[in-house]
A = this chain, B = another copy of it.
Amino acid sequence: MPQPDHLICLDIPDAENLGEDMDAYLAKCEEKLGMVPNVLRAYAKHPAKLRNFVQTYNTLMLAPSGLSKLEREMVAVVVSSANRCYYCLVAHGQAVRALSGDPQLAEMLVMNHKVAELPPRERAIVDFAWTLTTAPMSVGEAERNALRTQGLTDADIFDLADVAAFFNYTNRVAHATEMMPNPEYHAMNR
């Protein structure tokens, strides 16, 4: 049962010119990761969308924040688990393996975050991300206070909400287009 090697299930011609900044960015991906993540190749059909995606992604996932990079990747996996997004589970599952050095932790977050024995701060963070994804209308002061109790500032909560919400965006773009992840992720950091 050989699996699909398409990027997305939409037939859209490649953009002729991505702009220097994006050409440089994709080259840097190739150099540092050994591949260009398929989400970037997909958004490269439309240079302005690619630029917006890269800038938003980098602000949310890589810029300084009260949330560690691992915590942000854990949120990405838990949201994608709720939405059953194959692309993001493969790509961000690998990121959790890489950042945590703990492949079992990544598997737990992919399959059922509740079985992971997390420190209270991380438990509060992933529970918030799960609730915001599956029952957004139910989030209120009680849910924010559960985070404050674990030491998150209001700016941290904004970052957490922003990251969790963002993967509800990317998960749906991946579902709608049947975007497939690069096969290289599977073997990394096992």
Contact = CB atoms under 8 A, between A and B. Distances in A.
A134 to B, nearest CB: 11
Interface stretch (A17-25, A26-34, A51-59): A51-59
A104 B4 CA distance: 11
A87 to B, nearest CB: 9
A172 interface: yes
B46 A52 contact: no
Given A3-B117, A9-B141, A114-B137, A104 B165 contact: no
B171 A11 contact: no
A136 B169 contact: no
Given A110-B110, A114-B138, A136-B171, 5 more contacts: A1-B117, A84-B112, A110-B111, A165-B170, A166-B169
A116 B9 contact: no
Contact of A178 (B12, B140, B186): B140
Interface residues of A, number: 76
A40 interface: no
A49 B12 contact: no
A55 to B, nearest CB: 5
Interface of A: 1-4, 8-12, 45-46, 48-49, 51-52, 55-56, 59, 63, 81, 83-86, 89-90, 100, 102-105, 107-108, 110-112, 114-119, 122, 132-133, 136-141, 144, 154-155, 157-158, 161-162, 164-166, 168-173, 175-178, 180, 183, 186-187, 190
Nearest to A65: B46
Contacts of A183: 104
A3 B104 contact: yes
